[in-house]
Each structure stands twice: as C-alpha cells, then as structure tokens.
Amino acid sequence: MSTLTIAAVQTNIQWLDKAKNLANLAERLDSIKSADLIVLPETFSTGFGMDDEAIQEPQQSGMVYEWMQQQSIKHNAVIAGSVFVEDAGRKRNRFYWIYPNGETYFYDKRHLFRLGHEEQYVNPGTSREVFEINQIRILPQVCYDLRFPVWSRNRQDYDVMVNVANWPIMRRDAWDTLLKARAMENQVFVVGVNRVGLDGKNVDHSGGTAIYDFLGRAIVSAEDNQQQIIQMTIDIDELKAFRQSYPMLKDADDFEIKI
C-alpha cells in the first residue's frame, strides 16, 4: 500500500490525572471510523509534570501502556504518544509505538527542554528510530526535538515525520514555522500533534495540530484552542514522484551525529 490514514488527536490534558485523561481520550477516539495511525500529544496522560514522582509508569507495563494496547486493538491501528517512564531512579520521555498485534517499539526523547528543567528529571534518548506502517517509513520526534534539524535530517530513510508536543502558546509561531520547514527541507510529510489548554504550571497551549505535505503546505489542521481529531489519508506515491522530479536530497551534505 502507498497510503497512510492518520488521526491526530488535539486534546486538553488534565494535570496529573491519568484516569480522567484516558477516559476522555477513549471517548474521543470512538469517533474515528478507520485509521492506520492514531497519534496522541506528548505526555497525553499527565501533562508535562516531569518533577512529580507519581506520574511515571513502569517500562512497557502499567496503566497507560495497557490502555494504549487496548485502544490499538479496538481501533485496529497503531497508537502513538509519549509517556514518562521509570529509568534508573529518573525518567524517560518515551514515545510509544504500539501495533494492534501487541508489537511495541519506542523512541526516547533526545533533546530535553532545558527551559522547563526537563534535564533535571529525565534521561535523554540515545538513538534515532524509524518505524513502519504499510512499508511507509516514519520518524518519531518529541516536542523540543523539532528545534534541532540535524537530528531529523532525512538520510533518505523516512517518508513521514511525527512530532508530539506540549508546545506553549508563547512560542506558537516557532511551532508552525518549524513544522513547515522540516517538511520542506526533508521532502517528507510532517504530522504535528499538540495539546490545548492551561497546564498545572500555568502554561497555556493553543494547539496547532496539523498535517503538512512535502511542500510545507498544511493540508489539514485543527481549530485553535479546541479539542479535535483531524484525519487525513496521505499518498506516498505523490511524495516519491515529487522527489524524482526534484531530487534535492541527493545533494545533501554528509555528516555524522555523535551521541
């Protein structure tokens, strides 16, 4: 298959309340008739409260992980989103990628948000991952990763970038601009999934959940400040045809990332 149907979920996350957030999301996901991939925001079950010990989950187990498995089976779709998990007395900001058959992969957020003191509580990821659905290659990213283009540089090894975030309204222009830039410079579709609402640290979020094509055009986007699910079916054959007509990636500089 050359197509991928994506459901991007923009939601208001209730601060540190896993049960309420999961119940709210389960109800909203019931409106999805069919999708290959369902994407939830960064820390969708708790909000960005990395300094609270109660929010972390065991690795590949626990309430939130089991809920994701159940939702993946129910909707017959990959479900993805980030969760704080335990890691050697600290945490990881873990982007789970769960298939309906139970197969699980993950990417740990590499770039920790220093302004919010994330690095004081969270261990950074050490590897770049690429996942697949329908033989379509997908690069997972988490929030602040978006500001570091070398980390997301397309080595002709992916077709879609997915970034899940708690990106505040005060820096919303950067979110919109960088999503568009990553799509154009890497010749990929980009899916940006952000939250809305005020969090427990009095930080406001306006959303900006959208799917961009390889020309940097927002082909579908959510309403600001609204809980909403947007859906789009993208065609990778269109992307391949564009890359053939404008083979920019063949002229990209070679480099090595040292971790």
- Residues classed as catalytic: 42, 109, 143
- C-alpha closest to that of 16 among 45, 42, 41: 45
Domain positions in the chain are 3-251
What superfamily in CATH does domain 3-251 come from?
Carbon-nitrogen hydrolase (3.60.110.10)
Rounded Cα distance, 201 and 216, in Å: 33
- Residue that has been written with the tokens 């020309």 in this structure: 215
Predicted TM-score (pTM) above 0.85 = yes
Structure tokens at 259: 């971790």
Which pLDDT tens digit goes with each residue over 78-133?
A: 999 999 999 989 999 999 999 999 999 999 999 999 999 999 999 999 999 999 99
What mean pLDDT do residues 30-49 have? Answer: 97
**pLDDT over 70 (residue 1):** no
SS (H, E, C) 107-174: EECCCCCHHHCHHHCECCCCCCCCEEECCEEEEEEEHHHHHCCCCCCCCCCCCEEEEEECCCHHHHHH
The rounded distance, in Å, linking the Cα atoms of 168 and 206 is: 7
As a whole-number percent, the residues of the chain with pLDDT over 90 amount to: 93
What single-letter amino acid sits at 246? Y
Q: What is the pLDDT of residues 227-241, one digit of tens each?
A: 999 999 999 999 999
Residue among 186, 134, 142 nearest 167 (CA): 142
